[in-house]
Amino acid sequence: MWWYRILRFAFIFILISLPICLFYWFVWKYALNVPFQDDLDGVLEVIKKIMDAPNALRKARIFVLQDDEHRVVFNRIVTYLLYVCNGEVNFKYHLFIGCTLILGIFGMISHRFVRAALPIWGLIPVSLFIFQIQYYEGIFWGMIPCQNFAVLFFAFLSIYLVSQNTTVSLIFAFLFSLLGAFSSGNGLVVFLPFLLILVYQRRYRAALVCFVWACTCAWLYFYDLVIPEFRPKLSDNLLKYPLQVLVDFPAFLGQFFDMGVTFKPLIRGLITVPIGVFIIVWFVFLCQKLFLKWQKNTKSDATNQALVCWVGFLMFIMATAAVFSIARAGDGFEAVFRSRYKLNLAIIMALCYTTLFMLVANRWRKTVFMVGLNVALVANVLSYYQNFANIETFRRNLMTDMLSWKHGSNIPTSPIYFSPTVKPLVDSIIVHSLQHHYYTIPETIFTPIERQLTSRPTIEPNLLGPPMALDSTPQGEDYLIFSNSTFVQGNALDDGAYLILKSGNETHFFPAQQRRGGIRHFLKNQQFYSIGFETAPILTKGLKKGTYEVYVVVVSNGNCQIRPTNKKVMVEKSFKES
């Protein structure tokens, strides 16, 4: 009956949409309009340079200037458009725009899925695989979505278009491949699947044009590009760390099943490397299947186009993994597991599922669906459970970093800030953005009490709550950790304990970190965190010479209470006086 079909479609659509809605609600809720590390020169300094450029040609050149070893044109286009439309840069808008590109990637996979006459309910695991927060660092770090997510989107879009096998789509594929190549360093590898798809389609003239186009884009990319001294050559890494490269490559591909930082690298590798090898084997099988079809000159249909497109997506991620494994081989095995790269692996899992779902016989599809659904659902739920504490810590670090810079000329999470070459540059970028009103420090949970904390050399006694006991533990000569064993954190946004170090007009902010409780603790007490807190190691040399009173600001349901402690910190040597 027609009404049954409509209700069924609506129900399936809701199930597909739920992970998407949860993901974007979560992103918007926890994102902050605060720059982090590369955002300073990658976003704020871009506006400064554009404002200082004497003519339109110089302004245009700024969009293609290198950032580290990358060209990040799309990121700078978004930065400039936000500045023009909004009057200032807003990192929350910036990262949210980048995150919407994930929806575009999902749309391309889904469109091929539906065009191949596959049942729409088969997309439910795809939504669960992609829209989760294993890659939280890439989500909440201002410029990363418009770089790392953008290169995936534009590379996939060009592969998607070339797989259409029409002249018009090929023209647009060339254009988007250029934008993909200039979105991040790995964008150039898009020409590998691009070229091979044209050969597979027996469009040899177009393949020749693609080869010339790829060489032109590579020349434009590397023209006047200076690789930073701290980035070794790919050839040097390949010769110096060949075994590390061989281990990193499958580990990168299998890190969707990474157990997390609480486990030793050996344990993480024992899980991710075999899974990565399995993914490589599956990719080779898919390539062999396409090769056999090419040999037989099989007529292309919607199913074959979907397989070509998805294998092209997989090839791009495989090539990216290979480049990463070589380029970062000297950084150690743990560099493979950085959160910001894990969108690649979420997409790999989605593509492994869709290709298997399409290739098996109809009678096996429900089995593949149920296995995929269970794996995707568990992975999705665990991604929120395992990474929620990291996201809250990241958000708190952003808040306290900006407040510490504002009131103490300090960025606690970035000791490199005190480098004699870095500090003047960072200070000039932030000061210029504030003076020229293209960035505004956002209000935070501390805004109502910020004046009380910073306006006077000491905090008035009538503003203080009851004392809180703290333990302090030195970490070598330069670091100090504070802890408390009785604190209980609430469940509202930004609830928790924040450490304040105050000496005269200098005020420094540090977030405390609560350990995630186990599932049993959560079910029994309805509390995500264990009792007590501990600060990250505080670099005492990052403070000016003097004696600092230690306070704790307790945030609960949006209310802040300043509590004195039994601790003082004496700083005798400081980077700031050197």
Residue 349 within a domain:
yes
Predicted pLDDT of residue 575 = 57
Last residue of a domain, one of 387, 407, 433: 387
Number of H helices, E strands in the chain: 21, 10
Residue 573 within a domain:
yes
DSSP string computed for 63-98: TTSEETTEE-HHHHHHHHHHHHHHSS--HHHHHHHH
Give the domain extent around 492.
443-577
Last residue of a domain, one of 347, 363, 387: 387
Residue 395 within a domain:
no
> Do 369 and 462 share a domain, yes or no?
no
DSSP string computed for 431-472: HHHHHTTS--PPP-TTHHHHHHHHSSSS--GGGB-S-B--EE
Residue 451 within a domain:
yes
Q: What is the mean pLDDT of each run of 10 residues along the chain (578 residues)?
A: 80 94 94 88 89 86 84 91 90 93 96 92 95 89 89 96 91 94 90 94 92 93 78 75 85 82 77 90 94 80 89 95 85 80 92 94 91 94 89 90 84 80 87 90 85 77 84 79 87 88 85 80 74 86 84 88 86 62
Measured distance CA(512)–CA(518) in Å, rounded: 19
Predicted pLDDT of residue 521 = 67
> Do 72 and 163 share a domain, yes or no?
yes
The residues near 172 (Cβ < 8 Å, ≥ 6 apart) are 161
Residue 198 within a domain:
yes
> Do 233 and 360 share a domain, yes or no?
yes
> Do 339 and 471 share a domain, yes or no?
no
Residue 181 within a domain:
yes
pTM: 0.92
Domains of the chain: total:
2
3-state secondary structure of 494: coil
Comparing C-alpha atoms, which of 369, 388, 387 is closest to residue 377? Answer: 369
Supply the angle between the helices 343-359 and 362-408 in degrees, to the nearest 10: 170
The residues near 240 (Cβ < 8 Å, ≥ 6 apart) are 232, 329, 330
> Do 45 and 113 share a domain, yes or no?
yes
Last residue of a domain, one of 339, 362, 387: 387
> Do 469 and 382 share a domain, yes or no?
no
Residue 426 within a domain:
no
3-state secondary structure of 293: helix
Predicted pLDDT of residue 181 = 92
Predicted pLDDT of residue 15 = 94
> Do 380 and 451 share a domain, yes or no?
no
> Do 316 and 465 share a domain, yes or no?
no
> Do 381 and 452 share a domain, yes or no?
no
> Do 356 and 461 share a domain, yes or no?
no
> Do 355 and 484 share a domain, yes or no?
no
- The single-letter code of the amino acid at 203 is R
> Do 361 and 465 share a domain, yes or no?
no
CATH number of 496's domain: 2.60.40.10
Comparing C-alpha atoms, which of 174, 181, 163, 175 is closest to residue 208? Answer: 174
Residue 365 within a domain:
yes
Other Cβ atoms closer than 10 A to 436: 12
Distances, alpha carbon 406 to alpha carbons 44, 227, 434, in Å: 16, 33, 11
Measured distance CA(425)–CA(200) in Å, rounded: 51
